[in-house]
Amino acid sequence: MSVRLTDLERPFVVTSLADRSLPETIATMKRAEYAGARAFEVHLPLLSFPGPDEIAALTGATAAPIYATCRRGRFYELLGADEPVELTDAQRTEALVEAVEAGVDGVDFELDTFDPTGGPDEFTAAAVADYAADPDAEPAEVTDDGTAVARQRETIDRVHDAGGEVILSAHTCTHIEPETAIAIAERVTERGAEFAKLVGVDRDMDEGLETLRAHLRLNEADVVPYALMAMGDPSRIVRPLAPMFGSAWVFAQPDLRPGGFHSWPLVDNAREVLRRIDWRTAYDPHRRG
């Protein structure tokens, strides 16, 4: 019986696999696993939507849980994709359900699935920074449209029926204040997912500190386990600290590559931080009284 994401002792290290072939993906996964990663994210479009045999090869290479995601085409601009695959939200979620039926352990899809809410025109670092600097910009990837929410719940039920678990995510492209973080995590919880993933933008260390405060407020809220992180230079410091403040996992990479996410910690570093620091104090004793 495979290990589920909810079986993992929290906090744990996740590696997002962004290779373009199955052999390269498996090699990267094994390097990360040997270094201390405990779960893996695969991007279906980068692997040309692997079929059951390819997914069997992938899941057979590790005992760790693997979950699939299939972002909207523009997201893959960040990963350097030359020709992102353009799919409807219905096509994307169908591919995710099929991946679970073929053997992956879970999926991650956005909190505005079936009702795209906009955001920056491009998903590049510069465009995200410009969007975050607009004081009137609304958080992206969050919807309360009734029809969309019903279809999200239906998709979650299908994933559960196939034996998988669900992460609902919001890449807001804005700085996430504590109250906003709680409101997003409450939506995820109400819609039936197992985990919430919140990604904001921190432009300076004051915003980075507020992101850490948001962790503490999330700890006090009645929400599912979450991971809160941010884009921006302060994330080099905040990301490795996030599990100490309550995040269920931290993204880390086994090595640094040209064009990669150099603000992400290495798996070795993330593992050592968790191994050598008493992170447990974040979860309860910060509360006054």
**Per-residue model confidence as pLDDT tens digits over 219-268:** 889 999 999 999 998 988 999 889 889 999 999 998 877 666 667 889 99
- Please give the average per-residue pLDDT across 59-73, as a whole number: 94
Rounded CA gap, 78 and 97, in Å?
A: 25
What CA–CA distance (Å, rounded) separates 128 from 100? 31
Coil, strand, or helix at residue 97? Answer: helix
What is the identity of the amino acid at 130?
A: D
Residue written as token pair 């589920």: 4
Q: What strands, in cross-sheet order, belong to the sheet with 106-110?
A: 226-231, 195-201, 165-171, 106-110, 66-69, 39-43, 12-17, 249-251
Domains, the chain, in order of start with CATH, read: 5-277 (3.20.20.70)
The per-residue pLDDT for 255 is 85
The pLDDT of 101-105, averaged and rounded, is 97
pLDDT at residue 252 in the model: 93
- Name the band, by pLDDT with cuts 50, 70 and 90, for residue 8: very high
Better-predicted residue by pLDDT, 85 or 174: 174
Q: Which of 170, 19, 42 is nearest to 95 (CA)?
A: 42
Please report where in the chains the tokens 């352990």 appear, as a residue: 105
Q: Is the pTM of this model over 0.85?
A: yes
Taking the alpha carbons of 40, 33, 45, 118 in that order, is the dihedral positive or negative?
positive
Q: What is the pLDDT of residue 263?
A: 74
3-state secondary structure of 188: helix
Q: Give pLDDT, residue 143.
A: 97
Exposure string of 121-154, with b = 16+ CB inside 10 Å and e = fewer, is: eebeeebbeebbeeeebebbbbbeeeebbebbee
Residue 84 preceded by cis peptide, ω within 30: no
Choose between 67 and 84: higher pLDDT. Answer: 67
Percent above pLDDT 70 for the chain: 91
Provide CB contacts within 8 A for 191, sequence distance 6+.
Answer: 149, 152, 153, 156, 168
